Chains A and B, each alone.
Chain A
Amino acid sequence: MKIFFNEAKKLFRPIIIILLAVFIFIHCKGFLKLNYWPQVGTGNPWDTEVHAEMIEKFGPTLSRDELPALKEFYGALVADFEEEIRKSEVFARNGIDDYEKFCEADNEFLFKDGLTDGEQEIYNELIRYRFDLMPASELHFKLNELENRLLNEIEIGRIFATDETIVTMRDYLDRQNPEAAALLEKKYRADEMSLLTITPQSVVDGDSLNLVIISCIAVFAAVLYMLITDRLRGIYPIALSSKTGRKIFGIQAAVCGLFGLLAGIIVCAVYGAALMSKGAGVFLDCPMDNYYHDMWVKLDYRQYILIKAAAVVIFTGAAGLLSYIIGRFATNYISGLAVSIPVLVALCGAEFFATAHIFRVESAWVYSHFWSSVALPFAITLPICIGVTVAVCLILKRDGKRDIL
């Protein structure tokens, strides 16, 4: 155990820790989608908020029986917005005193060329209400989200479909393969509908790759420096000269693998805490099968996050072992780095392909069938994990037998 801790200590050299801390800070500040919560996906913060409000009212899913309550909820928002409309002198002068007239004016003037002075005045007021005036803009965005994402989808038959409305989706369903068509039709006819919006899902999708990049680079940087420095200091021949010394190689490999796993877990835990602090906790029980994405497997948002986090941890663990393999064979720092660059890119690319569209129904062949879609993440992840583990075992076996000279 003492050797284990001595080897682990070598990974945490102050200069490497400082450089990595700066790198992680810059990367997180610059590239994490979480920084833009709740505006990821749709570009405005109110979509997420209105969904959170609905979840509070109806729970993680909306059932067919709750449609009247949804209409009531929508009606309350309309009433609030109309109250705001009535505060405007411009609208009052032009007879716009309810939401219907507001929408009519919106459709008429928004894309009209050659506006008269009076029309320009209405146009400016419409723009102010849509984007700049609080709380009118907030209400308007919420109403838009409800109309476009729920009411409209119900109308065209993508949600709570009946035999009559499913006809409108028939063309679309006929273009899918029978397996996907059956799944989609079942989803359209379902009596419950997830209230998960795009932001929580987009944030986790985008950032899982960022987390892998951060943790893999950190693991590679620390492990390579430890192993190559050991080699340059001439420790290997000394270690090979005794039985206990030869055991160090195995301990080093275990330290690297565990360091990888630990780095992945820490990164995911910190990220998870940050995600929850932003307000994603409300969506945890919502099914992932929502009106943005169709899923082959029934998952809720909590399980989806855990799967993504597991992928990050597994790939970072693999990065720990991979960096051990490279570090053992690299004769100098630059050779280690030169080999690591393409390996890191390939590893992060593999993670992306394995989990970017995990279990989703999409038009690409691999995602349009249940088994291929479910098998894809395993088909990418397992060979990598098994391959690196076998390679490390072979190296260690060779270490146990090889001649010191």
Chain B
Amino acid sequence: MRIFRYEFKKLLLCPFLLGLLLVFAAFDVVMLFNDLSPKYYNYDGIYPAIIGSGAADEGAAEYYLSFRENFSAIYDELDMNEIFRQKMALYYPSVPPESAYYKWAQKNYMALQERVEEIRQTVEAGGDFYPGPAYKLHKKLCGLLSRSLLESLILTALAMLYLMDFERINAAEGLVYATKCGRSVQLKKMLAGGTFSLISSALLFALPLSVFAAVVPMKGLWRTSVSAFTLTEPTTFFSYPFVTWAKMSVFGQLAASLGLCALLVIITAAVCAGAYFAVRNSYLVMLGAGVAFLGMLLLPYAVPAGTMHTLSMMSPSVLWYNSGMWFIEFDPARGKWFEAATVALWAGIGALSAAAGWKRFKRCGI
């Protein structure tokens, strides 16, 4: 425990990591203010109209009522099978309808159609929220998550590699790794690095989220279903509500997303530790990780539609890129368990690489 504390202290007192954390946090807050633009969006004016109590701004209340009137019928005509056909024609025209892949994707959308029926019959569809087309709050919340997640992953990799490479950088390898106890320091470094990563990530998420909560009155709205028609945010080609794979409130999705982010942070820490044991140079590991991240992000564009395409999408980069659409229907190539399967796959890769690296490190010559 003493070594763990000592290693952890190294990170806490590391000026450039703390500096970078501060820069990221400041950047997030500025970007969030820019996204939310409280100057142009009258959150306080429309909020009473949404929750149905208090004095709302007259124009805003009128707008909200007309918005509800115009959009309330959106679920009546929503047909996920038709959306599936359109998306396949638009994104994956090369997949033949008789192929197993097409049928798998079709089956997913049939399940989504059942979910739509469920939403239609319950109160989920009609929940009150800031009008999606005008306020785009879901998108802004997701933008916040996406930025914080990327920064967390960068900080995680830097913190982990800083600790792991510390002895080599300070030419103390021969001294520290000469004994069994000394070698176990690397294991404690992994734990300390992982803990620091989780704490710094928590800070990176907490700060913008608290700014969000301070700027946008959300009391009573967190429980609104993500699938409520009020959240609908039209895109270039499609305009229909977010259809979640399971019942999920705005808070529920945020909490689940934060959980997934925490898992991604731990996976990144493990993969970096494993890669460090293999390469033994923090700089090259960091550069390699950056290139791999970019490569994995663009890989799906190079792989033709089919099973391999879905497999190529199962990477932390793609997960990060689509962080706004977790647990929501989005792409025919992704099924209900896409996020869980990706995290499970990479948790396995991370655990294996870290364990194999540690085993090799224990045995290697001084």
Confirm or deny: A332 has a beta carbon within 8 angstroms of a beta carbon on chain B.
yes
Indicate whether A16 sits within 8 Å of B287 (C-beta atoms), given known contacts A30-B301, A332-B162, A333-B169. Answer: yes
Interface residues of B in 243-296 (CB under 8 A from A): 281-284, 286-288, 290-291, 294-295
- Asked whether, in the complex, the Cβ of A333 is within 8 Å of the Cβ of B291, the reply is no
Stretch at the interface among B17-25, B93-101, B182-190, B341-349: B17-25
Least distance between A86 CB and chain B CB atoms (Å): 31
CB closest residue in chain A, given B297 = A30
- Asked whether, in the complex, the Cβ of A232 is within 8 Å of the Cβ of B287, the reply is no
Confirm or deny: B124 has a beta carbon within 8 angstroms of a beta carbon on chain A.
no
- Asked whether, in the complex, the Cβ of B294 is within 8 Å of the Cβ of A27, the reply is yes
- Asked whether, in the complex, the Cβ of B20 is within 8 Å of the Cβ of A338, the reply is yes
Interface residues of B in 1-59 (CB under 8 A from A): 16-17, 19-20, 23, 27
Query: Which chain B positions have C-beta within 8 A of A334?
Result: 16-17, 158, 161-162, 165, 282-283, 286
Interface footprint category on B: 20 to 34
Indicate whether A342 sits within 8 Å of B23 (C-beta atoms), given known contacts A23-B290, A232-B169, A333-B283. Answer: yes
Q: Mark A323-349, 1 if CB is under 8 A from B, else 0.
A: 000000001111111110110000000
A337's partner among B281, B286, B295 (CB-CB below 8 A) is B286
- The complex places the Cα of A333 from the Cα of B20 at a distance, in Å, of 15
- The complex places the Cα of A27 from the Cα of B298 at a distance, in Å, of 9
- The complex places the Cα of A29 from the Cα of B302 at a distance, in Å, of 10
- Asked whether, in the complex, the Cβ of A221 is within 8 Å of the Cβ of B287, the reply is yes
Least distance between A283 CB and chain B CB atoms (Å): 29
Query: Which chain B positions have C-beta within 8 A of A235?
Result: none
Confirm or deny: B154 has a beta carbon within 8 angstroms of a beta carbon on chain A.
yes
- The complex places the Cα of A334 from the Cα of B286 at a distance, in Å, of 9
Confirm or deny: A358 has a beta carbon within 8 angstroms of a beta carbon on chain B.
no
- The complex places the Cα of A342 from the Cα of B27 at a distance, in Å, of 10
Query: Which chain B positions have C-beta within 8 A of A225?
Result: 283
Least distance between B196 CB and chain A CB atoms (Å): 13
Least distance between B80 CB and chain A CB atoms (Å): 23
Q: Mark A213-228, 1 if CB is under 8 A from B, else 0.
A: 0000000010011001
- The complex places the Cα of A377 from the Cα of B184 at a distance, in Å, of 55
Confirm or deny: A26 has a beta carbon within 8 angstroms of a beta carbon on chain B.
yes
- Asked whether, in the complex, the Cβ of B283 is within 8 Å of the Cβ of A19, the reply is no
- Asked whether, in the complex, the Cβ of A333 is within 8 Å of the Cβ of B282, the reply is yes
- Asked whether, in the complex, the Cβ of B20 is within 8 Å of the Cβ of A342, the reply is yes
Query: Which chain B positions have C-beta within 8 A of A338?
Result: 16-17, 19-20, 158
Q: Mark A221-245, 1 if CB is under 8 A from B, else 0.
A: 1001100100010000000000000
Least distance between B157 CB and chain A CB atoms (Å): 9
- The complex places the Cα of A342 from the Cα of B26 at a distance, in Å, of 12
Interface footprint category on A: 20 to 34
- Asked whether, in the complex, the Cβ of A337 is within 8 Å of the Cβ of B294, the reply is no
- The complex places the Cα of A30 from the Cα of B296 at a distance, in Å, of 11
- The complex places the Cα of A316 from the Cα of B244 at a distance, in Å, of 46
- The complex places the Cα of A29 from the Cα of B297 at a distance, in Å, of 12
Query: Which chain A positions have C-beta within 8 A of B282?
Result: 332-334
Query: Which chain B positions have C-beta within 8 A of A15?
Result: 284
> How many residue-residue contacts, CB under 8 A, span A and B?
67
Query: Which chain A positions have C-beta within 8 A of B23?
Result: 342
- The complex places the Cα of A30 from the Cα of B288 at a distance, in Å, of 18
Interface residues of A in 353-369 (CB under 8 A from B): none
CB closest residue in chain B, given A229 = B283
Confirm or deny: A22 has a beta carbon within 8 angstroms of a beta carbon on chain B.
yes
Query: Which chain B positions have C-beta within 8 A of A29?
Result: 298, 302
Indicate whether A22 sits within 8 Å of B169 (C-beta atoms), given known contacts A15-B284, A228-B283, A338-B16. Answer: no
Query: Which chain B positions have C-beta within 8 A of A335?
Result: 16, 162
- The complex places the Cα of A15 from the Cα of B17 at a distance, in Å, of 26
- The complex places the Cα of A342 from the Cα of B169 at a distance, in Å, of 23
Interface residues of A in 4-39 (CB under 8 A from B): 15-16, 19, 22-23, 26-27, 29-30
Least distance between B31 CB and chain A CB atoms (Å): 12
Interface residues of B in 51-100 (CB under 8 A from A): none
Least distance between B292 CB and chain A CB atoms (Å): 9
Query: Which chain B positions have C-beta within 8 A of A341?
Result: 20, 154
Query: Which chain B positions have C-beta within 8 A of A224?
Result: 283
Query: Which chain A positions have C-beta within 8 A of B295?
Result: 22, 26
- The complex places the Cα of A22 from the Cα of B162 at a distance, in Å, of 25
Query: Which chain B positions have C-beta within 8 A of A23?
Result: 290-291, 294
- Asked whether, in the complex, the Cβ of B286 is within 8 Å of the Cβ of A333, the reply is yes
Least distance between A325 CB and chain B CB atoms (Å): 14
Q: Mark B148-173, 1 if CB is under 8 A from A, else 0.
A: 00000010001001100100010000
- The complex places the Cα of A23 from the Cα of B298 at a distance, in Å, of 12
- Asked whether, in the complex, the Cβ of A26 is within 8 Å of the Cβ of B16, the reply is no
- The complex places the Cα of A23 from the Cα of B297 at a distance, in Å, of 12
Query: Which chain A positions have C-beta within 8 A of B291?
Result: 19, 22-23, 26
- The complex places the Cα of A335 from the Cα of B13 at a distance, in Å, of 13
Least distance between A33 CB and chain B CB atoms (Å): 15
CB closest residue in chain A, given B159 = A334
Least distance between A228 CB and chain B CB atoms (Å): 7
Max count, chain B CB within 10 A of own CB: residue among A15, A19, A30, A333: A333
Across the A-B interface, give the 9 residue pairs with the lowest CB-CB distance, nearest first: A333-B283, A334-B162, A30-B298, A338-B16, A335-B16, A332-B169, A338-B20, A23-B291, A342-B23
20 contacts between A and B (CB under 8 A): A19-B288, A19-B291, A23-B294, A26-B291, A26-B298, A27-B294, A29-B298, A29-B302, A30-B298, A221-B287, A232-B169, A331-B169, A332-B169, A333-B165, A334-B162, A334-B282, A336-B283, A337-B158, A337-B283, A338-B16
Q: Which residues of B contact A (CB under 8 A)?
A: 16-17, 19-20, 23, 27, 154, 158, 161-162, 165, 169, 281-284, 286-288, 290-291, 294-295, 297-298, 301-302
